Structure 1
Amino acid sequence: MMSKFFTFVSAIAVLAIISPLGTGHANAGTGEFDASNGHFNFCVSVRFKASDAQIKRIKERFNSGSQILADATDNQHRFGNIRVINDSGASKAAEYWINSGSGRAFATLGKYGTRGEHVNLYYDSNFNAKSGVDGDSYTIAHEHVHHAYSIADEYSGPMGNAENAPASAETATLNYSLMDNYFTRGGRGPNGNGTTYTLNELSVKSNHDPDRDTFQSSINNNESDWETIAKSKYPAIAPKALPVSAAPAAHTVTFEDASGNLKTMLVVDRSGSMQTDNRIGFAKQGVTLFTNILKAQDSVGLASFSSSAGVNTNLALATPAHVASVNAAANSLVASGLTNIGGGLQAGLTQLTSQTSRSCNELIILFSDGDHNTGTNPISVIPSIKNEGVAVISVAIGSGLSSSGLSTLQTIGTQTGGEFFQVQNGFQLLVQFARLAAEASNQGILAQQPTLQFQNTEVQSFPLFVENNVSTITVIFTRAQTSDDFSIKLLDPAGTDVTASGGVVRNDVGNAVEFTISSPAAGEWMAEFTANAVSDGRAEFLSFADGGKGALFASVRDENIVFPAPIIIEATPQFEGIAVTNGAVAATVIRPDGGPVNIPLFDDGTNGDFIAGDGIYTAEFRNYDGSGTYTFDVTVNTTPSSQINEGESLFAGIDPANVKVVEKFVRVATTSVIVNNVPDIVRGDIDGDGDVDSNDINLLLTDKNLSTADSRCGDVCDLNGDGVINIIDARLIVPVCTRAACATEN
């Protein structure tokens, strides 16, 4: 006996494989959603060399999964165009990873369209009909609902096993919820003789979890599935009563075989204001650093803009000759004129879309120091960028942008599945270009230090942990003034300085020096910098690795922060693409005034964390010093107890928990967000509500006798700066209380 959707899915499965390509959406990379037709367009990275038969089966299952998604969303959403990359590739841009072997599937909540975040599926478990063909397809739809809408599980909760529909509602035709255990309920339960999948719908308010014990109730404030969808990033209109029970007509998903090679268009501001602080000069050096880091299979091109915009070097493979032409074009840029950001975006996008062969890993990296003030409105270009599946990473330079200008750059980045960053001066562009090149080319950041300050003869040292299977490490040291004289030592785990050894390549680029070390020994390295004679003394340091099995991705949950709402920062360390639990995760927060604050991140169900022990670490940050950009440099250090996420317990009866030995690794990831409407902050305002009262004292005392590293409020509670939260800090709050006796506001 077949479920209601599969009677028509099997008839069109082959058609989905051979349907003509080019039906509107190229979805070159990070997952895209077309609100005009409800289509999710995305890439799938097969992490092994699959046979033609295996690729065919993968496409069939995704086609069937789309029918279930359409049924569950009352025919409002479905899969549109899916590009499949065989034998790995597009690691950060793919929304689904299909691993070899067996394992339990797992998705991050609400991270569809976020670079680096993906659903993990396993070929032997999720494409081999272990629980029937329908079971495979239901799993794809179930995980997609997690990933796209941030709907949590309805078969378990904080206290263990749970259910959406009560046991009294159990029948052979029970149809809600897809997020419940579709393997054992409804037609798959005893009443249905265990043969037919029937949980095709999502819950509404009237039938959702009456005893409020599921993760969906806990995480989403007792909302039903449909209530959460209606306010999600990819909304659908909730039914007025019960969802439509009948399955919609069959549809066909379009599939393409794709590549995952990186294709990047650098789009650089050359307006008149780029002369300030030598921004244009540092941008020229930054382009050279960027192209030096790319791999042979990567492609790069250069566009620029001022009053007008144009392509300086066409997009092409990063051969030595082409890299030289890109660098030469960058060096010829002259800063003058106005700021046509929209034109620059269009120039970069045209280069990507005109390629004969598109990739699932296409980027525009945009640099600008001013508000858009002429030409095409950049916001109007966003739909075209999204339609093509191109992600934009936007970088604001300096402090000359208005709040509206910063917001525009952030919107360009976040709405295209990219990112937004801000550097405070031209000098910081050097490390920014290098970091973005490393991350774009799938190299992991080992360590980074924002602006350091050196005095004459001062020595500063920084550890670098290099894990097994790393082919090269690169260390970049930049100084604000080329006249500043520094000595550099790179000490391997045996304590030997390797800077002058035969296996190290040194490359000097203006204010930067770059060392590339092949086949580095695994273990603890040390980068040591000595200021021999300096007049400025500002410097920055970055190191990254090619190879290794560790990764880290960081993002903010909401890109629209208005005081007093907190920033919720989330980080996912991964080992071979799977989330890692029991890691030590912390962040250094760079606030608009430049002052750093150190905070821990948690995976314990507190501080904004959804689910304890799932490998997604979270912190709530309220320690604002003004409106502007807040940058989080997040670091993970794995521990001896670190392990990979076991996968959903939904699959416990089918596959054993995911188990791998997590080798020690260290990674750094950066994310930024703009906070608006921050008033003048008063010292001692721990909860960030604009005043100081007994609530702040009580919050501080909850971390009494903890170090700032272990404290949940970090440096903001350490009023005397001794590194420990104690009664002395509480006493220092009393004199600055807003009201007498530190009374709270009535």
Structure 2
Amino acid sequence: MIDTSGSMSGTPMNNAKTAGSLLVGQLTPGENAVGVGRFTSSASQVFAITDIPDPDTGVRAAAQSAISAFVASGGTNIEGAALTALAQVQGFQGGTRPSVVYLLTDGQSSVNVANVVNQYTAAKVPLITFGFGSSVDTALLQSLANGTGGQYFFSPTSLAAIQQAFIAANAAFSSSVVVSSGTAPAAPSTTEVRTIPLDSTMATAAINVTYGLAEADVSLRLLDSTGADTGLTFTCNATSEVSCDTEVDVSTLGAGDYGLEITNNTAGAKDVSVLVSGSPSTFENYDIAVQFDNANYPASFGIQATVSAGAALTGLDVVARVTKPDNSTVDIPLLDDGRNGDLNADDGTYSADVAYDMDGTYTAVVTASNAAGNAQTTFNSVAIAVGEDGNGITPTPTNVTENFTRTGVANAVVAGMAADDHSDDPTVPGACTAFTDDNVDVVGRIDAAGDVDCFFFTPTATSDDLIARITSLRMDMEPVIRVYDPTGTTELLMADLATSENDKSGVIVTIPAGSLDAAGHVVTIEHSDAAATAGGYALSVGAKLVSDEPAQEAEEEDTGGAVGPLGLLFAALLAAVGLRQRRRFV
């Protein structure tokens, strides 16, 4: 369901139509059905939901023709569009097949969110929403997507960005995968070859290349894994930008590292975007799932990606290219090392903290690569099954040496950004952030080099020791805590990771009862590295907790492999399975 209101006229409409046609062209014959709708102040179906036979007899081409006829005019009615699309998928074959609705808009309108969400959840249909451009109501589209089990994608109005969003959404809700997605400049009057790994789990691959006008500016060839020309041709469509496509039958031509030969025929550098997706040939496939959650300043802003091949995979190189609200980009490695925001080392979940400095929507394009051939299945942090004899059954890890890449896309929003989250001067206690000694975390963040965060608490009682703790360390935070008298002028104690009573948890320090002052205490947090420009943490003070004590090393004991009655854990390993036989309503 595509917004064709007046604000979509020109380049946004052209790019939305091209991206919609690309999505339809990549639907799998014999597995999918497709329908097309448009909306302005009212919504209508322009291509009835139709099964795509195998081989396709022209269904996809007919749907693409319906999209190409869109003309922008009128207002925007998002609720009407969502409910019209839902009615169409429910009416197709009695609503018995799994369905998904895509809704793209560049604007805003009044929506009864509860009404839409209730109807979609009752029908068990996820709504995938796309915010197109800078004027969208992000909160509304996220609410509609999250409330229905769908996903929200944001895209600028560039062709490459919206095509990436559409194909990523298709991968998230089908058996297809995104192999890679990226943009890089092609040097003037030169030829270069970009590697495209097409692995053994893939049946077919679709390669899309996008660049600025004109079509003749760039020449394309696809080389096989030996460097020979595959003979495949690219079909190009030129509107506001050029979009060229070809399809590779991997089952026939074979897996391997293919090469995309790009010749820039112009005298200037030219940005060329390459988007590769595909359909798996086997039930077990390399898959990636990306989680990128909203953050309210000063909370941490983290990305997590889990890569699997039946079981989770560790040993991969994983990088997120994050596009900030001002369209600047930063590349951030995601690690599986159990540090910062990564909870457990070598469990197949890769994590990173994103340093943010402005409100708005952030887009993360996360790519996992096994170019080094170091991937291995992992069962860390997975409960162990127990055999009839009471012995634990630990699966044997499997090495994966094949080169492959997988890409996932996610969006998240930052709100409430400020120059600093807490006052800096301990000698002005009244300006310090007040909190209580109840062991409840207060979130803090180092915002700049030399930043000092100031807090104040009044002890509930002074008869017993209290524990001050700095935990949930993010962005390589190395905290130093100082506790002062009520005036903030006399330092009573200082602690860092080196002197912590439990450095595995963070900085843990005892405030002796004899030092407690009923008038209160100033507490400051800073980074041990005065040049560090970022760091995240949580501060709490209160009675001693079990977690404040260092973990005791278990004594070695020969139990014959038996697991005690309190240690019996059962688990099923869940592989990510693509949903098939879906109806698509675009």
Q: Which category describes the TM-score, using the shorter chain as reference length?
A: 0.5 to 0.7
| 1:610 is aligned to 2:367 | no
| 1:400 is aligned to 2:128 | no
| 1:387 is aligned to 2:122 | yes
**Displacement of 1:545:** 2.9
Please show how residues 154-193 of structure 1 align to structure 2 within 5 Å: none
2:189–2:268 CA contact under 8 A, matched in 1 = no
Q: Among the aligned pairs, what percent are the same residue?
A: 25
> CA separation in 1, counterparts of 2:95 and 2:342?
37
Relative contact order (C-alpha < 8 Å, sep 6+): which is higher? 2
| 1:467 is aligned to 2:204 | no
Match of 1:304 among 38, 44, 48: 38
> CA separation in 1, counterparts of 2:376 and 2:198?
19
| 1:365 is aligned to 2:102 | yes
Residue 472 of structure 1 aligns to which amino acid in structure 2? T
Deviations 1:627-673 (A, max 9, x none): 11111111222354432233422436364525444352221111111
Summarize the Cα distance change of 1:308–1:497 in structure 2 as closer, same or farther, 3 Å threshold.
same
> CA separation in 1, counterparts of 2:94 and 2:343?
40
1:343–1:378 CA contact under 8 A, matched in 2 = no
| 1:316 is aligned to 2:53 | no
1:341–1:378 CA contact under 8 A, matched in 2 = no
Residue of structure 2 equivalent to 1:271: 5
> CA separation in 2, counterparts of 1:681 and 1:459?
48
Please show how residues 335-346 of structure 1 align to structure 2 within 5 Å: 335-346=72-83
> CA separation in 2, counterparts of 1:345 and 1:410?
14
Please show how residues 275-286 of structure 1 align to structure 2 within 5 Å: 275-276=9-10, 278-286=11-19
Match of 2:366 among 595, 613, 634: 634
Please show how residues 570-649 of structure 1 align to structure 2 within 5 Å: 570-575=304-309, 577-621=310-354, 623-638=355-370, 640-646=373-379, 647-649=382-384
**Displacement of 1:573:** 0.6
Residue of structure 1 equivalent to 2:27: 294
Residue 631 of structure 1 aligns to which amino acid in structure 2? T
3-state SS of paired residue (2:265): strand
Residue of structure 2 equivalent to 1:409: 141
3-state SS of paired residue (2:189): coil
**Displacement of 1:408:** 1.0
**Displacement of 1:378:** 4.5
Summarize the Cα distance change of 1:275–1:699 in structure 2 as closer, same or farther, 3 Å threshold.
closer
**Displacement of 1:688:** 5.5
3-state SS of paired residue (1:372): coil
Structure with more helix by fraction: 1
RMSD of the TM alignment (CA)? 3.1
**Displacement of 1:557:** 5.8
Summarize the Cα distance change of 1:356–1:453 in structure 2 as closer, same or farther, 3 Å threshold.
same
**Displacement of 1:485:** 1.2
**Displacement of 1:693:** 1.2
Deviations 1:328-375 (A, max 9, x none): 2212222111111111111111112122254664211111111125xx
Summarize the Cα distance change of 1:484–1:455 in structure 2 as closer, same or farther, 3 Å threshold.
farther
Please show how residues 212-611 of structure 1 align to structure 2 within 5 Å: 267-276=1-10, 278-296=11-29, 297-318=31-52, 319-356=56-93, 358=95, 361-373=98-110, 376-378=111-113, 380-401=115-136, 405-427=137-159, 428-437=161-170, 440-450=173-183, 452-454=184-186, 456-483=188-215, 485-498=217-230, 501=231, 504=232, 506-510=234-238, 511-518=242-249, 519-533=252-266, 537-547=270-280, 549-556=284-291, 558=293, 560-575=294-309, 577-611=310-344
Summarize the Cα distance change of 1:390–1:679 in structure 2 as closer, same or farther, 3 Å threshold.
same
Deviations 1:190-245 (A, max 9, x none): xxxxxxxxxxxxxxxxxxxxxxxxxxxxxxxxxxxxxxxxxxxxxxxxxxxxxxxx
Residue of structure 2 equivalent to 1:709: none
Match of 2:395 among 657, 660, 663: 657
Unaligned runs of 5+ in 2: 422-443, 454-473, 479-528, 535-586
2:321–2:364 CA contact under 8 A, matched in 1 = yes
Residue 26 of structure 2 aligns to which amino acid in structure 1? I
Structure with more strand by fraction: 2
Residue 287 of structure 2 aligns to which amino acid in structure 1? L
3-state SS of paired residue (2:119): helix
Unaligned runs of 5+ in 1: 1-266, 703-729, 738-746
> CA separation in 2, counterparts of 1:379 and 1:478?
39
Deviations 1:383-431 (A, max 9, x none): 2112222122211111123xxx111112222222222121112423234
1:289–1:509 CA contact under 8 A, matched in 2 = no
Residue of structure 1 equivalent to 2:488: none
3-state SS of paired residue (1:353): helix
Match of 1:692 among 449, 453, 461: 449
**Displacement of 1:379:** 5.1
2:384–2:392 CA contact under 8 A, matched in 1 = no
Computing the radius of gyration from Cα coordinates, the structure with the larger value is 2
1:477–1:513 CA contact under 8 A, matched in 2 = yes
3-state SS of paired residue (1:533): coil
> CA separation in 1, counterparts of 2:451 and 2:297?
21
1:593–1:625 CA contact under 8 A, matched in 2 = no
**Displacement of 1:589:** 1.2
TM-score by length of 1: 0.52
1:550–1:667 CA contact under 8 A, matched in 2 = no
> CA separation in 1, counterparts of 2:376 and 2:164?
32
Match of 1:666 among 405, 409, 413: 405
> CA separation in 2, counterparts of 1:422 and 1:302?
21
**Displacement of 1:456:** 3.4
Deviations 1:297-320 (A, max 9, x none): 201111111111121112121243
Residue 371 of structure 1 aligns to which amino acid in structure 2? Q
Deviations 1:662-717 (A, max 9, x none): 352221111111111223699xxxx9544431679x97797xxxxxxxxxxxxxxx
3-state SS of paired residue (1:356): helix
Summarize the Cα distance change of 1:640–1:326 in structure 2 as closer, same or farther, 3 Å threshold.
closer
Residue 400 of structure 2 aligns to which amino acid in structure 1? V
**Displacement of 1:289:** 1.3
TM-score by length of 2: 0.65
325-334 or 632-641: which moved more? 632-641
> CA separation in 1, counterparts of 2:192 and 2:452?
40
